[in-house]
């Protein structure tokens, strides 16, 4: 009878250890997920801020370029039309080459999310 109680006690102890291990493992997974999410969110916010300032820079340079071209051509309409044609040309190039650079961009985003997981 004593051996049965001892075996039962050991099984209960093992069960408690397994439960504690599972709780610790779940907590670790939550912390890792929070860390990766915060890193990714920080990068996204940084890229959004950089993109906003870059957009402002491009907008002012474009405006200055359009006004300069308008002055050379003698018409605001022709100057701004020429600059808009340049933008259309750039947009077409981006669209036609997106099959080349879009997968690389996607892979780099995925890799940045899973960096540091080589050992797991």
Residues 44-88 have pLDDT tens digits of 899 999 999 999 999 999 999 999 999 999 999 999 999 999 999
Residue 33 pLDDT exceeds 50:
yes
Domains of the chain by residue range: 2-113
With beta carbons less than 8 A apart as the criterion, state whether 18 and 95 touch: no
Q: Which of 7-11, 27-31, 43-47 has the lowest mean pLDDT?
A: 7-11
Buried b (16+ CB within 10 A) or exposed e, 85-94: eeeeeeeeee
């Amino acid at each position: 009878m004593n051996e049965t109680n001892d075996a039962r006690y050991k099984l209960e102890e093992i069960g408690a250890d397994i439960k504690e291990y599972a709780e610790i493992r779940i907590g670790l997974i939550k912390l890792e997920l929070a860390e990766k999410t915060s890193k990714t969110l920080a990068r996204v916010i940084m890229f959004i801020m950089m993109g906003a300032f870059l957009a402002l820079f491009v907008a002012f340079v474009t405006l200055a370029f359009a006004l300069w071209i308008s002055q050379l051509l003698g018409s605001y309409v022709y100057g701004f039309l020429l600059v808009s044609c340049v933008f259309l040309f750039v947009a077409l190039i981006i669209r036609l080459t997106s099959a080349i650079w879009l997968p690389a961009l996607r892979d780099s985003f995925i890799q940045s999310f899973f960096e540091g997981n080589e050992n797991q």
